[in-house]
């Protein structure tokens, strides 16, 4: 909506004045500081009246901009304020000229800025008035000093005789007057040029707007035709980004269902996946369905409507379920369905899942087509997630095999890594670590002692205690472990955990003597879990410690060997599991 011209003019003048007064406050502050420096550091005589002038104008400018910001002012009043502030500026310049001018033309400099400013931003009438007032004020001060009616003021006394030479005074006044008028005319010409250019731009803008409006009308017709396709591509793009951002199957299915419901406006929905072992489709993700339906509803691949979708590999839309022979209710379940849309998720040529949506109103052809395109994207993502999970499972099995290789070399540590993993995972969950951090911790726990492969078996199984040299060899196993996994890209995140799981909280551990928060949190968790399981296991040089003794050792090592927060959480978990007869914590 276009703004009222008067309101626009009022806002323009108001904004201009606020800017001018604010800028003037800054300049006057700088001017005031400069005069103080000249007076006290360079010992130049500055009249006290100059300070009074500066402070007065500063206060006036500050109050003016403050009132303009806080009070509502009419346009007529604002125009008067705009004109008067030029006159006040001239008076200030006159005062400064009187107290600083020695050679007559120096004082003219103080008026130039005001004349130039008013010539550009004000009307010709106002500009002429201000220009002739500047000439008058300048001439008046000079003549009054010449006639002796006001005492001559100056900062540096080197040309007082000039104020007694009438020819010099008259000549200077005439020249200065011509200069003032020339500056005014130049400024006004420049302002006129700006206005002319502005008018040309306004005309060009108006023509562009007219052309734009005509073009907009034509484009609008085309836009309406393309809107559905655009919305469809936009939704598919959003879906693609969302489902491609994770490889967790549950998260992917939730995104698939959420978008399916959003696209179709369905009242309820579900995603069913095919369980190859049981040879049935079951509900894996649900929206607005009862727990009973989620738990009990399954279909064989050749049963009911699922069978039709599996066979035909295309969407099935049933508008009236009561009349359609392909649909039959499961006994004991109230579906409350009126219409049903089923969209297959096809992976490698086979239906591996189905998106089910029901609604009280009809599904349009465009919606069904969009959901079909969406299901194709979903199929690719689900397949990637399953492949990724298989890789992860295989990878973890390899990691466990590596851990078992360690335990073959040191039979006293049989099952140690698996128990440490269970303890560490529960501590991490209690501390609220992210799922990715917990997953890294699982791998680190299984492999934390892999470096012992590089330690001689005779040392690991020595029942008589270790010499200093032998203990130094054992202390190298975190570094050896890190070196072993360094070439494996997928294990890069756990390198610090394996290297630092024998660091002490007080900095007296090994291999790097890290302390406190400088030790990675995962390594601090491993240290507690590893120490506890070591105390609860038989070793070549001692038998297993009692539960009470192990707990006391953890408490004794609190804040010295172990992170206090980790110890606190682990002791809480042990307390919850005392009834399990010293068994490892269960997930």
pLDDT tens, residue by residue, 458-493: 777 777 778 888 888 889 999 998 998 888 887 899
Q: Which residues contact 444 (CB under 8 A, 6 or more apart)?
A: 424, 494, 497, 498, 501, 522, 526
Residues 354, 270: contact at Cβ < 8 Å?
no
Cα 197 off chain centre by? 43
Sign of the torsion formed by the C-alpha atoms of 247, 253, 259 and 263: positive
| Residue 237 zone, left/alpha/beta (φ > 0; ψ -120 to 50; rest) | alpha
Per-domain boundaries in the chain: 5-210, 249-384, 410-580
**What pLDDT does 103 receive?**
46
CATH class of the domain comprising 410-580: mainly alpha
Do 249-384 and 410-580 show the same overall fold? no
Q: Which residue has the tokens 């800025």?
A: 113
Tokens read off for 305: 């409507």
Q: For residue 170, report the phi and psi dihedrals to the nearest 5 degrees.
A: -65, -40
How sure is the predictor about 586, in pLDDT bands with cuts at 50, 70 and 90?
very low
What's the DSSP call for residue 279?
Answer: T
Question: For residues 473, 474, 480 and 482, what is the CA-based torsion angle, rounded to 10 degrees?
Answer: -140
Tokens read off for 369: 């087509």
Q: Please state the CATH superfamily assignment of the domain spanning residues 249-384 in this structure.
A: GAF domain (3.30.450.40)
Question: Which is nearest to 419 in space by CA: 531, 501, 522?
Answer: 531
Q: For residue 550, report the phi and psi dihedrals to the nearest 5 degrees.
A: -60, -40
Q: How many helices (H) and strands (E) does the chain have?
A: 19, 6
What's the DSSP call for residue 491?
Answer: G
The pLDDT tens digits for 316-359 are 888 876 666 666 555 545 556 678 888 888 888 888 888 888 87
What's the DSSP call for residue 102?
Answer: S
Point out which residues pair with 268 in neighbouring strands.
Answer: 358
Helix H or strand E segment including 284: strand 280-287
**What pLDDT does 202 receive?**
82
209 pLDDT above the threshold of 90: no
**What pLDDT does 587 receive?**
38
**What pLDDT does 372 receive?**
82
419 pLDDT above the threshold of 80: yes
Residues 285, 250: contact at Cβ < 8 Å?
yes
Separation of alpha carbons 298 and 292, rounded Å: 12
Instruction: Please report, for residues 19, 28, 91, 137, the alpha-carbon distance to residue 61 in angstroms, rounded to integers and kept in the order given.
Output: 10, 10, 14, 21
Q: Which residues contact 203 (CB under 8 A, 6 or more apart)?
A: none
**What pLDDT does 10 receive?**
78
Cα 82 off chain centre by? 45
163 pLDDT above the threshold of 70: no
Question: Which is nearest to 266 in space by CA: 379, 352, 343?
Answer: 343
What's the DSSP call for residue 584?
Answer: P
How sure is the predictor about 425, in pLDDT bands with cuts at 50, 70 and 90?
very high
Q: Which residue has the tokens 């008076």?
A: 91
Question: For residues 444, 447, 453 and 456, what is the CA-based torsion angle, rounded to 10 degrees?
Answer: 70
For residues 418-433, one letter each, b for 16 or more C-beta atoms within 10 angstroms of the residue's C-beta and e for the rest, the string is bbbbbbbbbbbeeeeb
Tokens read off for 50: 């100059």
Average pLDDT score over the chain: 79
Question: Which is nearest to 399 in space by CA: 491, 483, 476, 474?
Answer: 491
Question: Which is nearest to 150 in space by CA: 99, 205, 199?
Answer: 99
112 pLDDT above the threshold of 50: yes
Average pLDDT over residues 357-379: 78
**What pLDDT does 224 receive?**
65
**What pLDDT does 382 receive?**
80
| 95-104, 140-149, 188-197, 350-359: range with lowest mean pLDDT | 95-104
Q: What is the value of pTM for the model shown?
A: 0.45
């Amino acid at each position: 909506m276009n703004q009222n011209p008067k309101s626009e003019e009022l806002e323009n003048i108001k904004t201009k004045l606020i800017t001018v007064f604010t800028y003037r406050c800054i300049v006057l502050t700088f001017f005031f500081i400069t005069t103080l420096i000249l007076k006290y550091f360079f010992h130049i005589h500055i009249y006290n009246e100059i300070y009074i002038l500066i402070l007065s104008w500063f206060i006036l400018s500050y109050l003016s901009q403050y009132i303009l910001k806080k009070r509502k002012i009419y346009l007529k009043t604002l125009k008067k304020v705009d004109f008067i502030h030029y006159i006040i500026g001239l008076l200030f310049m006159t005062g400064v000229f009187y107290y600083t001018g020695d050679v007559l033309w120096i004082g003219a400099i103080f008026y130039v800025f005001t004349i130039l400013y008013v010539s550009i931003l004000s009307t010709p009438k106002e500009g002429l008035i201000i220009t002739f007032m500047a000439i008058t004020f300048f001439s008046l001060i000079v003549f009054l000093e010449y006639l002796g009616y006001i005492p001559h003021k100056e900062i540096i006394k080197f040309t007082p005789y000039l104020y007694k030479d009438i020819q010099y005074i008259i000549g200077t006044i005439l020249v200065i007057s011509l200069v003032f008028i020339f500056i005014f005319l130049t400024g006004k010409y420049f302002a006129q040029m700006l206005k002319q250019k502005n008018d040309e731009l306004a005309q060009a803008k108006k023509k562009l707007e007219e052309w734009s409006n005509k073009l907009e009308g034509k484009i609008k017709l085309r836009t309406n035709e393309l809107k559905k396709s655009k919305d469809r591509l936009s939704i598919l793009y959003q879906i693609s980004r969302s489902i491609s951002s994770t490889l967790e199957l549950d998260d992917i299915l939730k995104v698939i269902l959420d978008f399916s419901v959003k696209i179709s406006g369905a009242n309820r929905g579900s995603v069913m996946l095919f369980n190859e072992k049981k040879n049935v489709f079951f509900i894996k993700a649900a929206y607005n369905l009862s727990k009973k339906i989620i738990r009990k509803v399954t279909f064989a691949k050749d049963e009911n409507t699922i069978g039709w979708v599996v066979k035909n590999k295309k969407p099935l839309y049933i508008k009236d379920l009561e009349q359609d022979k392909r649909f039959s209710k499961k006994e004991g379940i109230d579906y409350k369905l009126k219409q049903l849309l089923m969209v297959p998720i096809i992976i490698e040529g086979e239906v591996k899942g189905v998106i089910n949506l029901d609604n009280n109103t009809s599904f349009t052809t465009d919606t069904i087509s969009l959901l079909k395109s969406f299901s194709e994207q979903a199929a690719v993502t689900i397949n990637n997630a399953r492949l990724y999970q298989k890789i992860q499972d295989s990878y973890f099995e390899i990691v466990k095999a590596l851990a078992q290789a360690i335990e073959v070399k040191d039979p006293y540590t049989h099952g140690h890594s698996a128990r440490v993993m269970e303890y560490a995972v529960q501590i991490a969950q209690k501390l609220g670590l992210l799922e990715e951090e917990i997953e890294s911790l699982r791998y680190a726990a299984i492999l934390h002692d892999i470096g012992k492969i590089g330690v001689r078996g005779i040392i690991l199984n020595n029942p008589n205690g270790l010499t200093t040299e032998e203990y130094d060899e054992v202390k190298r196993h975190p570094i050896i472990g890190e070196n072993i996994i360094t070439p494996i890209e997928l294990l890069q995140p756990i390198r610090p955990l394996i290297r630092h799981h024998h660091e002490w909280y007080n900095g007296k551990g090994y291999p790097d003597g890290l302390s406190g928060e400088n030790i990675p949190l995962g390594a601090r968790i491993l240290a507690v879990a590893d120490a506890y399981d070591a105390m609860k296991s038989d070793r070549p040089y001692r038998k297993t410690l009692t539960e009470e003794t192990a707990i006391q050792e953890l408490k004794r090592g609190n804040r010295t060997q172990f992170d206090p927060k980790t110890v606190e959480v682990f002791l809480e978990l042990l307390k919850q599991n005392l009834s399990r007869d010293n068994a490892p914590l269960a997930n």
